[in-house]
Amino acid sequence: MKQLTRPFLLIMACLVWAGCSSTKSLKPGQILYTGAEVNINPDSSAKIDDQKQVKTDLESKTRPRPNKSILGIKYKLGIYNLAGEPTKPKGFKNWLRRQGEPPVLLSEVKLKYNNDVLTSYLISEGYLQAVVTGDTVVKEKKGKAIYTANTGDRYKINKINFPPDTGVLTKIINANKEKTLLKTGDYYDLDVYKNERIRIDNDLKEIGYFYFSPDYLIMQVDSTIGKNLVNISVKVKDIAPDAALKPYSIKTINIYPNYSLRRDGALRKLKPLQYNDFNIYDDKNTFKPRLFDRLVFFQKGEAYNRKDHNQSLNRMVNIGAFQDVRAEFLPVDSFKNNQLDLNIYLTPLKKNSLTFSVTGTSKSNNFVGSEVKVTQTTRNLFRGAEQLDVSVSGGFETQTRGTSLGRNSLSLTAEGKLTFPRFIVPFYKPNSTTAFIPKTIASLSYQMLSRGSEYTLRAFKGEFGYNFKENLYKEHNLNPVSVSYISTGFPSDDVRDSLYAANPLLKATLENQFIIGSSYNFTYTNQMEESRRNNTYFFGGIETGGNVWGLFAPKNDDGQKSIFGTPLTQFVRLEADLRDYYKINRNLIWANRLNLGYGYAYGNTTSLPFVRQFFAGGSNDIRAFPARTLGPGTFKVDDNAIFADQGGDVKLMLNSELRFKLVSVLYGALFADAGNVWLRKEDPLRPGSEFKVSNVLNELAVGTGAGLRVDATIFVIRLDVAFPVRKPYLPEGQRWVFDNIAFGNKDWRRENLIFNIGIGYPF
């Protein structure tokens, strides 16, 4: 370790020295530019609204940007200087110099340009009399730019005038003026005016004004009325062309489902198939005509509208059958009338494709490994854009942390999944008009999981359900039919008996069982909106097992309801996962999670089946405790247990993590985790495992730690180190263990420090 540490410290010291001596390599007369400073109304004691934020915004708009730095050390410039002038066209020095950054010089600063940019920004924010002047200050070989911004008073809107009702178009604009973004009393804001033009354009696009554009509108501002007020007049420009001033309707709809540039001429000469309002040019009958009823929302004779346009394009793209989608609107008779021909060009994806993938896996039980997967995809199986995916995968995993360190796992999975781009409901034909394609999914799978010389699990699963996106943010998954059969095999009866003797809980965990039920999941997220300061993710799910079948299933010799001699599992399971991501600044995010779960089992058992239980501890929840060893309640599993996984019927999890960028793709994190799992009813073999609302806070485990992440966008590799600060299994009054923390003590580190390797973020 010392051999690695010394070179690392030496390199860091060299970078710090090179960064601190960043001016030594400058040529005579060169001045290093250190950045810009903006002073707002320095001769006035009054402050403007949000002065700190305005100052930050102004400084961010100055150019050039100074050399990058961390804690005042210009590390990029340090690397550049450390490399020195290369003597050869290739080699290490050239590579090292490219990783750095040449010095940004004061001579590169264009004061007049920055003055104009900052003045323009202030005017756009309502400071119509703003003036910005800049100067430079030089000290030794370093210099900075100082800008003085005299803003004047900020103007407000006094009155909004819409165009007089002189025709159909102006009448429409006036009819929708109640939806205006311009409000009397609001500050003058150029961005609002731009958005108002877009709003009016959207209203017109919805009723046929295909060739209208926001550029054909002008917002005239009168700032001469006094008292720092302005009147806004919305007008249609005189230069707007005639085509923009009239609505258009759809005359014909031509669809080319098997289009390619090579066949363009031949396709246009075909006699089209007439289907409803569509002319379909496809001599190969690639798709059933009724498919386009669900993809194209336009009808002959109706006015053009943007909603139908966007929904049609989104559906054709999202259906997953086409590699290229293009919609072309052409005026009939070159704008002489008000009709459009709609041509839709669709280029299908290949009928069959084979994909091969190798992936890294990281699971909540601290197993990491890799998986090889081969998938055969057949598209447009029944000429209705259906898709059949048949996959085979195999993987190897090893446990990196836990009470049974060194255990390996082998898995083999085969799955067939058939997706229909529509709802298939007996005796009912639902009609979806959103931009997203509803899907009906039927799947069959088999998985074999081998835990070496201990046991082998085999799971057969069949599922039929629906996937539906309500909009960009909300997604629903409903599986009315889900059937699972889990069987366990042992190398011998002796191995089975020894495992059960060492851990009696294994008998209930590894017994054969049927799970027949339904599930529904709802997901909401706005994480795709990266410009938002605050992003939210919510997942809610309910799963039932054996509720209907339990009414008819016979009982076996033990009095258990069963199917083919295998006990039927009956339960209701609820789970909710709420996450919040708050961007403190561009490189600092505060992430929080609340995860709740509750299961109610009845009939053959009083606890959820093992494969549906909740677990605590490990790399994705409470990282200060080994995987699946926490709880239930105040129970503590034996450190030498052969099978340490401890599940529960109730779960409460709280996580908070501060994520920050260090350099390039390297990120850091500080985190705190709290939570536990409980059984709904006390297990005599695990005292303290029962869930009681009054004891929840007193039985929470708490841990904290830090982590490093390599975030290369396409993958994230994570290393977290954590330690407990509250242990629920200790006697009351002794559960907080802050006083016992001793990083210098080898025994404490061995007992308490938990290292977690993960792929992806924990939440």
- The predicted-structure confidence for 614-660, as pLDDT tens digits, reads as follows 999 888 889 999 888 898 999 988 776 656 678 899 999 999 999 99
- pLDDT tens-digit map of 463-522: 999 999 988 899 999 999 999 988 888 877 777 777 766 666 666 666 788 888 899 999
User: Nearest CA to 760 among 706, 723, 705, 710?
Assistant: 710
Predicted confidence at residue 505, as pLDDT, reads 63
Predicted confidence at residue 3, as pLDDT, reads 45
15 φ, ψ (degrees, to nearest 5): -65, -45
Does 361 score more than 70 pLDDT? no
Lowest mean pLDDT among 69-83, 248-262, 280-294: 69-83
Residues with Cβ within 8 Å of residue 677, at least 6 apart in sequence: 613, 614, 615, 616, 630, 631, 632, 633, 646, 647, 648, 649, 650, 651
Does 403 score more than 80 pLDDT? no
Q: Rounded to an integer, what distance in angstroms lies between the CA atom of residue 16 and that of residue 232?
A: 56
Domains of the chain: 7-150 (no CATH), 156-245 (3.10.20.310), 249-348 (3.10.20.310), 618-623+631-763 (no CATH)
Structure pTM?
0.78
Q: Rounded to an integer, what distance in angstroms lies between the CA atom of residue 67 and that of residue 50?
A: 28
pLDDT-based confidence at residue 70 (cuts at 50, 70, 90):
confident
Compute the Cα dihedral for 487, 493, 495, 498 and give only its sign.
positive
- pLDDT tens-digit map of 669-703: 999 999 999 999 988 888 999 999 999 999 999 99
Instruction: Determine the average pLDDT of the residues in 295-318.
Output: 94
Could you tell me which residue, 401 or 763, shows the higher pLDDT? 763
Does 19 score more than 60 pLDDT? no
Instruction: Determine the average pLDDT of the residues in 354-379.
Output: 75
Could you tell me which residue, 397 or 243, shows the higher pLDDT? 243
Share of the chain above pLDDT 70, in %: 90
Whether 101 and 80 have beta carbons less than 8 Å apart is answered as: yes
- pLDDT tens-digit map of 420-447: 999 998 766 666 677 788 999 999 999 9
Instruction: Determine the average pLDDT of the residues in 199-214.
Output: 95
Predicted confidence at residue 340, as pLDDT, reads 96
pLDDT-based confidence at residue 397 (cuts at 50, 70, 90):
low
Whether 612 and 484 have beta carbons less than 8 Å apart is answered as: no
Instruction: Determine the average pLDDT of the residues in 533-550.
Output: 89
Mean pLDDT: which of 84-98, 443-457, 545-559, 688-702 is highest? Answer: 688-702
β-pairing, 474-489 vs 513-525, is: antiparallel
21 φ, ψ (degrees, to nearest 5): -100, 40
Instruction: Determine the average pLDDT of the residues in 704-711.
Output: 93
- pLDDT tens-digit map of 319-342: 999 999 999 999 998 777 899 999
Could you tell me which residue, 243 or 3, shows the higher pLDDT? 243
Whether 120 and 215 have beta carbons less than 8 Å apart is answered as: no
